[in-house]
Amino acid sequence: MPTERIQPLPSSSVTANAPDRVSTDGLEAKWGEYWTEQGTYSFERDAEKTEIFSIDTPPPTVSGSLHVGHVFSYTHTDVLARFQRMNGKSVFYPMGWDDNGLPTERRVQNYYGVRCDPSLPYEPDFEPPHVGGEGKSIKAADQKPISRKNFIELCQRLTAEDEQQFEALWRHLGLSVDWSHTYQTIGQRAQKIAQAAFLRNLARGEAYQAAAPGLWDVTFQTAVAQAELEAREYPGHYHALAFHTPEGEDVVIETTRPELLPACVALIAHPDDERYQHLFNTTVTSPGFGVEVPVLAHPAAEIDKGAGIAMCCTFGDLTDVQWWRELALPMRSVLRKDGRLVNDTPDWIESEDGRTLYAECAGKTAFSARKAIVEKLQETGEMHGDPKPTQRMTNFFEKGDKPLEIVTSRQWYIRNGGREFTRNGSSTDLREELIGRGKDLEFHPDFMRVRYENWVRGLNTDWLVSRQRFFGVALPVWYRISDSGEVNYEDVLVPTEDMLPIDPTVDCPPGFTEEQRNQPGGFAPEVDIMDTWATSSLTPQIAAGWLHDDEMFNKLYPMSIRPQGQDIIRTWLFSTAVRAHLEFGGLPWSHAAISGWILDPDRKKMSKSKGNVVTPMGLLEKHGSDAVRYWAASARLGTDAAFDESQMKIGRRLAIKLLNASKFALTMAGEGDLLLDTASVTEAVDRAMLCRLRGVITQATDAFEKFDHTRALEVTETFFWHFTDDYLELVKERAYNRDGSRPQGAVDSARATLNLVVNAVVRLLAPFLPYSAEEVWSWYREGSVHLAQWPTVAEFSQVEGDEHLLEVASQTLSALRKIKSEAKVSPKTPILAANLEVPTGFADKVETVRDDLEKSAVVTGELTVTETEVESVVTVSSELGEPPVRRK
């Protein structure tokens, strides 16, 4: 059960009990255990009158280890969660694990030395040949082939181990997650939701299948969606190849892909290109293969690129697909899904020389086929000159190592505005609807909205959601097989929602039995799985309890905020908005908080693929969790930040100072009661300090409400250092009152101010430094600071004061300190005389704090103050006494 929210502190009979020596060491273990035992961060779902703040927490990909970039962005979410909780809201802060999909499969292959072969039978009690590999330590040829079921079991085993390590790190960092609310994207609940959402998309015509050319990764043997593309430079060569007109004219094109010459279906030039006007609507024959192809005009041809005329092959790139569709060209595919050329010589190659040349290329990789064709064309003279080196931008799968190919295959899609479609009998502009959703969403920072809109406007295909992989959520459909044994992919069989989740390779469609599987008159299962984003796009529904806990779902959905990285706006944020729009007709959250990237010393984004990441546990142990959190929270949303351990050192210093300053402020009266009422604050400088604190509370609160945690930290930290370096030093002698010479009212005023400032600052810093703040709180309070009321200006509403007095006191104290620092003597050295020049209007204020100044600076003689036209306090003359004798 959650801890009861702490009531306002009583104004009397409260004492502090701080340890003799304070340290940040060991606080993570001490308070982490306490929070778990007390259920400090438990979601209060039954608090009817409490406003709920719900977080669609990013489920980290479970594929090895977290890196410091995760610590960076997840800290941003946590400080917000802690602020909202201290503001009296019931915070729903779950954690998910994104454990299905390609990253997990790759890790399992390398870790256990296996690969999946669905044709193999299941082996009960299978143990992998290797345990503990990383990266590409085990070559594909050396990986043991195992059944799909065995492979999935290994995926589940390894992700369970990784999840335990991830949770341990998150707990050490101090994320205030409710660990009773977790999910896996491969878990039963997530599978049911993903399959149900897909079936509803299918029923409404939003999901469909099509056999069409699409991007394909030859390494992973799977289709790839537009959102998963990454453009990279790739080395290649331009080859000048001569096509021939019937009249014997050479038409020279330049291509980086001569291996696709047997798939050529046309030559294309711009309709305004004067060089090729005489060739339009005529034919030419291809070099080497002698295949006749038309010369056509299309505005997408680039006049100033190469020769200005290009060959269209099925398919070399996305422009080829465009030309093929718009010009109604024939299909002549020669590339297999494994990246090799088909074995059988195509029918359209009729010449003996062409068929002989193709036979030399059959079954070869694109690289080897290219070499064979180039050598032949050099021999025949149909290639002009030598290949010219070039760097070209090429599409890669974001997790792949080889350029993507375009292969025709049957795939499943979900409509996302990439193409027009009809809903309820009328044309629907889904793209504009989704742009409208983006306008309704509050982006933090706001300029991130443009990235969303640009992505939606640039879509040219619907969302390809099927994958030819193994560890993922099954597409929940079967296909009817005709009596003649042909699979009819147009006759789709679906389960009822009460059957979900299902695996069509194991379960049967309604009205069929297992004996009818893959038999004439029976059914064939869909063996593809869903893209990992097809599940991750439903994290608000999964976390909030859709189709599982209606009462909770109605309370939590739509959720308050989606925190995430800027690089997955086009994937995770957009796809989640699509699913919510299609299913519920609205946004899945009100706000989106977008974090920047962590950059390495070379200002490059940290990523596992680049090998420049830093793992966080060592940093947490070296500097302390509060220090690392401070570094992370010092960066604003949407802003890239450099990895900087010096910032962590500053954070550690801040945490230690919070402990030390709080110990002094809370215990300077010995075992006496703390003074936590503003009525005891009577001295002008003390009232000024509380007025400044009131302003800091206003600024920090306003910043948090605008999702600017960095501003909240800045104003609080600046105030805290002023408090400890100036104000505390100024009044500590009055607070101690060792000689008993001060009036009790003045003493109590200083002590009350110190107590009140610490009582507020420890709460202001609690979201950022949760361990140190909890430690201080425990010295004088019951329960957790993280369930305490966030400071309010109402706590200091009765206090009026002149904040300028603090500036005067600070400048004057600084001038007196400077006398000793320049003389290189002890701060305890007495000042026998000093003459200060102060700006006009300062003198009266200096007199107001003279007693505190003289005691703090150890002024034992005459202190003269004269107003002149200076900008700050200046020492004109001074005389020092003998430094105190240091005792051994």
d(CA 620, CA 668): 32
- Under 8 Å CB-to-CB from 655, ≥6 apart: which residues? 24, 624, 626, 627, 630, 769, 771, 772
Cross-strand partners of 95: 182
Question: 405 and 336 in contact (C-beta within 8 Å)?
Answer: no
d(CA 766, CA 549): 33
Amino acid letter, residue 785: V
Tokens, residue 829: 């050295």
Question: 533 and 561 in contact (C-beta within 8 Å)?
Answer: no
Q: Per the omega criterion (within 30 degrees of 0), is the bond before 501 cis? A: yes
Burial of 478 (0-12, 13-18, 19+ CB in 10 A): buried
Question: 581 and 611 in contact (C-beta within 8 Å)?
Answer: no
Q: How far is CA 657 from CA 651, 720, 808, 817, 883, in A?
A: 10, 9, 24, 21, 28
| 3 state SS of 496 | coil
Handedness of CA 285, 289, 291, 297 (dihedral sign): negative
Q: How far is CA 384 from CA 419, 552, 861, in A?
A: 42, 71, 98
d(CA 355, CA 346): 8
Residue holding tokens 């990454």?
230
Question: 366 and 407 in contact (C-beta within 8 Å)?
Answer: no
Tokens, residue 106: 């790759």
Question: 641 and 599 in contact (C-beta within 8 Å)?
Answer: yes
Q: Is 608 annotated as a binding residue?
A: yes
d(CA 369, CA 340): 8
Question: 173 and 625 in contact (C-beta within 8 Å)?
Answer: yes
Exposed e or buried b per residue across 430-454, where buried means at least 16 C-beta atoms within 10 angstroms of its C-beta: bbebbeebbeebebbbeebbebbee
d(CA 365, CA 546): 48
Amino acid letter, residue 655: A
d(CA 605, CA 232): 15
DSSP of 862-883: EEEEEEES-SS-EEEEEEE-PP
Q: How many CB atoms lie within 10 A of CB 238?
A: 18
**Helix intervals (H) in 364-444:** 366-380, 430-440
Tokens, residue 495: 């389960």
Exposed e or buried b per residue across 682-710, where buried means at least 16 C-beta atoms within 10 angstroms of its C-beta: bbbbbbbbbbbbbebbebbbebbeebbbb
- Under 8 Å CB-to-CB from 286, ≥6 apart: which residues? 243, 261, 262, 264, 293, 311
Q: How far out from the chain centre does Cα 259 lie?
A: 40
| Planar angle of CA 175, 180, 182, nearest 5 degrees | 75
Handedness of CA 634, 638, 639, 645 (dihedral sign): positive
- Under 8 Å CB-to-CB from 83, ≥6 apart: which residues? 704, 709, 712, 767, 790
Residue numbering of the annotated binding site: 608
Binding residue numbers for ATP: 608
